[in-house]
């Protein structure tokens, strides 16, 4: 009998095609599992595949009395109640580092697009205003990358890749994270101190209860009127209301956002702003990143069904 | 008597304000000098300040019988007829390297924005289509930067900075230039060979008669259907008609353009294309780049009026 895997979040078919070759997939399409499958079918489920950001707590786990493994597609697992899983002896796996380069690259893309005002630039050319010699919205030169102070919040695999990329742009790099590492970047003991120092805050911290709204109105204000914030972690790390206010009142210059508090619902007050570059949570969405994440998922599921430990378990 | 400098191209006032502190500026605003000033006034002119891309040939030089120095604001000097200048004993100066980082950074911005499809991504979020769960135009994942083959055409200061930045993105770097350098990148003896190998062609070559339409229909075809071209050099280096055709027929995937054949007239057939990211020749347009370029201009003009050699002469 083929091993069964319940697909708990909504995934495009193409993203889970490789799993269908090895396992029997029960795809909820992101809808409640109880509505999609019978209690009998759910009772058989020993493994679920989920997106790390999708809430998956004790109640959901108890839908599957035989559940032994929750495998997250991607590096994040903030939606999974780890304590509830541990209490039920459910292993939790993810794809550590598999999408780190891809996510770091979207952070760089958003930072450069925001600071070089590429949406405004593109529109000025595309509309014909440049050809018509209409006044340029780009007239006032902006600060470039050399010498710019980039603050990286979180120094995991993604943070390190962001820092390495920024260093090649001749920027100064500072960081704040729980631990201080042996890295050639300036360490700041608090997020406040990092925000006071930097002009671009790159949010690369692993999201969780303790980072909820860590980037508050106060932190944003410390970035200053020439400051930018880029978030490729989770929407929960920024106080989104404070961000809208800071961008509207121009207490900061702009932002680049790949993630939002209640995806896919980026608030209208935010999406109406001209000084933000948006992307729809596509940080990890590149060919090689998907292949790498799928490799981790396959390795985790295969090991689980063979009765072994997950090779990419959440620690 | 204050030394006089004729401003030959159109410059924003803010960009030439520092020169007005030291010299008497006769600003043509980019209009023909003869229409703006009397023959007497032009007869006094010993130095002109110009943008390197503005055509400045023998006839124009002869408007100023006492002309001894042509100083270009920026690194380029392709508009200046160097032979005509030499024949008249006119020194030609520029700002070598002053804007190299800023131009390399716009190249990176355009490449990342094009390959990660940031205009489409931003519009998908901004329009509310993402929130409404409309089909995503981003569904098919694209290749990312790790392992991508980046071809750099021209290995001067800008090319080197582009290569160093791309290397930090874990890409493979190849280059073609007249000379082979002791650099940790793969050298290709022809542009054809580079185009066959790479999937992104970064045009960073110094423009001139010998590079006119060097990036031809043939070179573009060699990039392949997943290929991109980014131009931050001069519009003349690409055969713009062939580029429009390649983008329209999707024989290449996309482009990022900061420069155009007849600026500011980017052709409608080009600006209508969704798979291009445009900027209005803002490569060197950052605060620190302007300061550095102005420092070169001031040093060149000061030396000239003191009867010394230009410290930043065109070689």
One domain for residues B129 and B268:
yes
What's the CA dihedral at A166, A169, A171, A173 to 10 degrees? 20
- From A144, A268, A287, residue closest to B286, measured CB to CB: A144
Which chain B residues touch A147 with a CB distance below 8 Å?
288
Interface test with B, best of A102, A133, A254, A264 (most B CBs within 10 A): A264
Q: Indicate whether A11 pLDDT > 90.
A: yes
- A169 interface with B at CB cutoff 8 Å: yes
Where helices occur in chain A by DSSP H, the ranges are: 13-20, 33-36, 39-44, 58-61, 82-87, 100-115, 118-126, 157-168, 191-197, 217-223, 240-248, 268-271, 287-305
Whether the ω angle into residue A264 lies within 30 degrees of 0, i.e. cis, is yes
- Note whether residue B301 is domain-resident: yes
What average pLDDT does this structure show over B173-193?
97
pLDDT in the model for residue A48 = 98
One domain for residues B86 and B131:
no
HSE-up of A265 (CA within 13 Å, CB side)?
Answer: 3
Mean pLDDT across chain A, nearest whole number?
Answer: 96
What average pLDDT does this structure show over A58-69?
97
One domain for residues B291 and B232:
no
Q: How many structural domains does chain B have?
A: 2
Which chain A residues touch B288 with a CB distance below 8 Å?
143-144, 146-147
* Beta bridge partner(s), residue A69: A47, A91
One domain for residues A260 and A111:
yes
pLDDT in the model for residue A139 = 86
The widest CA-to-CA distance across chain A, in whole angstroms, is 70
Closest to A297 measured CA to CA, from A125, A115, A99: A99
- B286 interface with A at CB cutoff 8 Å: yes
Which chain B residues touch A29 with a CB distance below 8 Å?
none
Which chain A residues touch B128 with a CB distance below 8 Å?
268, 271
- Note whether residue A310 is domain-resident: no
Q: Indicate whether B70 pLDDT > 80.
A: yes
ipTM of the complex in this document: 0.91
pLDDT in the model for residue A41 = 95
- From A101, A119, A170, residue closest to B101, measured CB to CB: A170
Chain A and chain B share a number of CB contacts under 8 A equal to 164
Residue pair A274/A120 in contact (Cβ under 8 Å)? The answer is yes
Q: Compute the distance between CA of residue A72 and CA of residue A190 in angstroms, rounded to an integer.
A: 30
CB contact under 8 A, A118 and B110: yes
Whether the ω angle into residue B264 lies within 30 degrees of 0, i.e. cis, is yes
One domain for residues B71 and B118:
no
Which chain B residues touch A112 with a CB distance below 8 Å?
105, 108-109, 112-113
State the smallest CA–CA distance between residue B14 and chain A in angstroms. Answer: 9
Q: What angle do CA A182, A185, A191 make, to 5 degrees?
A: 100
pLDDT in the model for residue B1 = 65
Residue pair B232/B204 in contact (Cβ under 8 Å)? The answer is yes
Q: Compute the distance between CA of residue B171 and CA of residue B147 in angstroms, rounded to an integer.
A: 5
Q: What are the distances in angstroms from CA B41 to CA B6, B17, B27, B54, B120?
A: 10, 21, 12, 22, 53
> Where residue B229 sits, what CATH number does that domain have?
3.40.50.720
Which chain A residues touch B145 with a CB distance below 8 Å?
101, 105
Give catalytic residue positions of A. 234, 263, 281
- B184 interface with A at CB cutoff 8 Å: no
pLDDT digits (tens, 9 = 90+) for B145-157: 999 999 999 999 9
Q: Compute the distance between CA of residue A158 and CA of residue A160 in angstroms, rounded to an integer.
A: 5
- Note whether residue A12 is domain-resident: yes
The more confident residue out of A208 and A81 is A81
- Note whether residue B311 is domain-resident: no
- Note whether residue B231 is domain-resident: yes
Q: Compute the distance between CA of residue A18 and CA of residue A25 in angstroms, rounded to an integer.
A: 11
CB contact under 8 A, A280 and B164: no
One domain for residues B258 and B111:
yes
pLDDT in the model for residue A1 = 65
Residue pair A80/A298 in contact (Cβ under 8 Å)? The answer is no
Q: Compute the distance between CA of residue B142 and CA of residue B203 in angstroms, rounded to an integer.
A: 22
One domain for residues B125 and B61:
no
**Residues 126..165 of A with a Cβ closer than 8 Å to B: which?**
126, 128, 130-131, 133, 136, 138-147, 164-165
Q: Is B256 helix (H, G, I), strand (E, B) or coil?
A: strand
One domain for residues B134 and B16:
no
Band (pLDDT 50/70/90 cuts) for residue B91 is: very high
pLDDT digits (tens, 9 = 90+) for A272-300: 999 999 999 999 999 999 999 999 999 99
CB contact under 8 A, A287 and B131: no
- Residue A51 belongs to domain spanning: 4-98+287-305
CB contact under 8 A, A147 and B289: no
pLDDT digits (tens, 9 = 90+) for A136-171: 998 889 999 999 999 999 999 999 999 999 999 999
Q: Indicate whether B308 pLDDT > 80.
A: yes
- From B119, B142, B145, residue closest to A101, measured CB to CB: B145
pLDDT digits (tens, 9 = 90+) for A215-264: 999 999 999 999 999 999 999 999 999 999 999 999 999 999 999 999 99
- From B142, B271, B280, residue closest to A287, measured CB to CB: B142
- Note whether residue B195 is domain-resident: yes
Residue pair B148/B200 in contact (Cβ under 8 Å)? The answer is yes
What average pLDDT does this structure show over B262-285?
95
- Note whether residue A229 is domain-resident: yes
Give catalytic residue positions of B. 234, 263, 281
CB contact under 8 A, B143 and A287: yes
Mean pLDDT across chain B, nearest whole number?
Answer: 96
- From B165, B169, B280, residue closest to A130, measured CB to CB: B280
A29: left (phi over 0), alpha (psi -120 to 50) or beta: left
One domain for residues B25 and B78:
yes
- Note whether residue A143 is domain-resident: yes
Q: Indicate whether A28 pLDDT > 90.
A: yes
| Owner of token pair 């839908």 | A63
Nearest-by-CA chain B residue for A171:
B101
- B119 interface with A at CB cutoff 8 Å: yes
pLDDT in the model for residue B105 = 98
CB contact under 8 A, A144 and B119: no
One domain for residues B258 and B225:
yes
Structure-block tokens of residue B27: 């600003």
One domain for residues B218 and B139:
yes
- B167 interface with A at CB cutoff 8 Å: yes
Closest to A199 measured CA to CA, from A297, A284, A303, A115: A115
N-terminal to C-terminal alpha carbon distance within chain B: 31
Which chain A residues touch B112 with a CB distance below 8 Å?
105, 108-109, 112-113
One domain for residues A166 and A248:
yes
Q: Indicate whether A135 pLDDT > 80.
A: yes
């Amino acid at each position: 009998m083929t091993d069964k895997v319940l697909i708990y979040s909504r995934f495009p078919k193409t993203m889970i095609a490789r799993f269908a070759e090895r396992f029997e997939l029960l795809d909820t399409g992101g809808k409640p599992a109880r509505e999609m499958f019978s209690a009998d079918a759910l009772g058989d489920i020993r493994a679920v595949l989920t997106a790390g950001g999708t809430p998956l707590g004790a109640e959901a786990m108890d839908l599957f009395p035989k559940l032994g493994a929750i495998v997250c597609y991607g590096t994040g697992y903030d939606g999974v109640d780890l304590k509830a899983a541990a209490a039920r002896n459910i292993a939790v796996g993810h794809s550590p580092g598999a999408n780190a380069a891809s996510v770091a690259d979207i952070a760089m893309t958003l930072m450069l697009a925001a600071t070089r005002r590429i949406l405004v630039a593109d529109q000025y050319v595309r509309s014909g205003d440049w050809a018509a010699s209409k006044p340029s919205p780009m007239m006032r030169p902006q600060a470039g990358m050399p010498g710019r102070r980039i603050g990286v919040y979180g120094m995991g695999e993604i943070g390190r890749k962001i820092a390495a990329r920024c260093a090649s742009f001749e920027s100064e790099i500072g960081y704040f994270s729980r631990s201080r590492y042996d890295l050639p970047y300036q360490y700041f003991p608090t997020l406040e101190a990092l925000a006071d120092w930097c002009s671009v805050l790159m949010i690369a911290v692993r999201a969780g209860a303790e980072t909820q709204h860590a980037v508050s109105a106060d932190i944003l204000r410390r970035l200053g009127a020439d400051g930018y914030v880029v978030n490729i972690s989770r929407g929960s790390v920024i106080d989104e209301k404070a961000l809208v206010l800071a961008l509207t009142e121009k207490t900061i210059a702009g932002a680049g956002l790949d993630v939002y508090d209640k995806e896919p619902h980026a608030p209208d007050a935010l999406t109406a702003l001209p000084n933000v570059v948006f992307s729809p949570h596509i940080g990890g969405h590149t060919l090689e990143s998907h292949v790498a994440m799928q490799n981790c998922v396959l390795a985790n599921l295969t090991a689980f069904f063979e009765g072994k430990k997950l090779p990419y378990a959440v620690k």
